[in-house]
A = this chain, B = another copy of it.
Amino acid sequence: MTEESGNKWVLMVTAQTPTNIAVIKYWGKRDEKLILPINDSISVTLDPSHLCTTTSVAVSPDFTHDRMWLNGKEISLSGGRFQNCLREIRSRASEVEDDEKGIKITKKDWEKLHVHIASYNNFPTAAGLASSAAGFACLVFSLAKLMNLKEDQSKLSSIARQGSGSACRSLFGGFVKWIMGKEKNGSDSVAVQLADENHWDDLVIIIAVVSSRQKETSSTSGMLETVETSMLIQHRAKEVVPKRIIQMEEAIKKRDFPSFAHLACADSNQFHAVCLDTTPPIFYMNDTSHRIISCVEKWNRSEGTPQVAYTFDAGPNAVLISHNRKTAAHLLQRLLFYFPPNSDTDLNSYVIGDKTILQDAGIQDMKDVEALAPPPEIKDNIPTHKYKGDVSYFICTRPGRGPVLLTDSSQALLDHKTGLPK
């Protein structure tokens, strides 16, 4: 390592990584430490313009220990999951040269050098929107760039997997499969891209962030309890999911929305079914989640073919995947009809992300929301009930790209001189 006295340096990389939503669910590990799943899973990567993590990683001979800041607040890196990722990446680090700055770091130097990490989510961390998936994917991707790893994206995915299982699927855009693998050491438990984000680009995704006062079971402890106590989970993992994986790959390949929707909904429901079959039972969906499902199911049935697929992760939020912009606009009308915002909420902060869907739905202000007619699939003799305030907000988005490097230094989260958060 060339370290000219009086010429201290900080080398930095900033990256942006998307979050993802599983349409064939991951639930249950066969190895807790290596985070190896009991079945394959398939996800859709979400557009990072609306949901993503940005991470800056920096190295400097001045840094005395590894440090990390999440959304501006320093957090501990002592957890096993962080340590596993850092160790795996360091062991694969390559030589780095920066002639301009007069920096040369050898493979051996990386063993002694410390890093600073700053990470930021462009969405509320506590909202249950898979922030750990985007977070660990971004940590691994940015460190791999900083340390000049030669490994391909799938290899990186198996490192990210050791931070948070679903993080491995955030290393790619579009449609991604996490192959469970067979090896004991997890080397073949990696993510692969099934199709990129342009393959099926008319899909529109609306996320309903559902208000909840329940404390939720963490997915780590939840899936452990399911594997230990559910009498149905092994049947799901061994008999049901393998068939669905084949069918889902085919549906994505052919852009067959009815099959895609049928499989995604059924698999989300089955995941929540095995949670309920756990002792003690785990409830992630609440009455609002149930009402959103009923609204979608009723509409899909009345149309004779699915307009929208729903899927729920380890929380009450609904991820609704529409066939195209037109069905998305009709979906948003239905959602705003049943779940109008509280009177003190501004429409502009109630529907966020891609606001053109709101325009397509012909909704400009709260008066338009109030004027929404009941959906035609509702029978006239049934009084419609509205659930004001039961949804916190909606995010309109779409399938999106994988991780990218951000070269504009204004987007860096660490100061290029001090290596501390800006």
Which residues of A pack against B, CB within 8 Å? 213-215, 229, 231-232, 235-236, 239-240, 262, 265-266, 269-270, 272-274, 276-281, 283, 286-287, 290, 293, 297, 301, 382, 385
For A232, list chain B residues within 8 Å (CB).
Answer: 232, 235-236, 240, 270, 273
A379 CB → nearest B CB, Å? 11
Residue of B nearest to A213 (CB): B385
The residues of B that contact A283 with a CB separation of less than 8 Å are 290, 293
Contact among B235, B276, B278, B297 with A276 in the assembled complex (CB-CB below 8 Å): B276
Give 13 new A-B contacts, CB below 8 A, not counting A231-B266, A270-B277, A281-B297.
A231-B236, A231-B270, A232-B235, A232-B273, A235-B235, A235-B239, A262-B279, A265-B280, A269-B278, A270-B276, A273-B276, A280-B293, A287-B287
B273 touches A277 (CB 8 A): yes
Q: Which 5 residue pairs spanning A and B have beta carbons closest together?
A: A273-B277, A273-B273, A280-B297, A273-B276, A235-B235
- A333 shortest CB reach to chain B, Å: 21
**Chain B: which residue is nearest A277 at the CB level?**
B273
Distance, CA A283 to CA B297, complexed state (A): 13
B281 touches A276 (CB 8 A): no
A38 nearest CB across to chain B (Å)? 15
Q: How far is the CB of A378 from chain B (nearest CB, A)?
A: 12
CB-nearest residue of chain B to A289: B283
Q: Would you give 30 A-B contacts (Cβ < 8 Å), ordered by A?
A: A214-B290, A229-B266, A231-B236, A231-B239, A231-B240, A231-B266, A232-B232, A232-B236, A232-B240, A232-B270, A235-B235, A235-B239, A262-B279, A265-B279, A266-B279, A269-B276, A269-B277, A269-B278, A270-B276, A272-B276, A273-B273, A273-B274, A273-B276, A273-B277, A276-B276, A281-B293, A281-B297, A286-B287, A286-B290, A287-B287
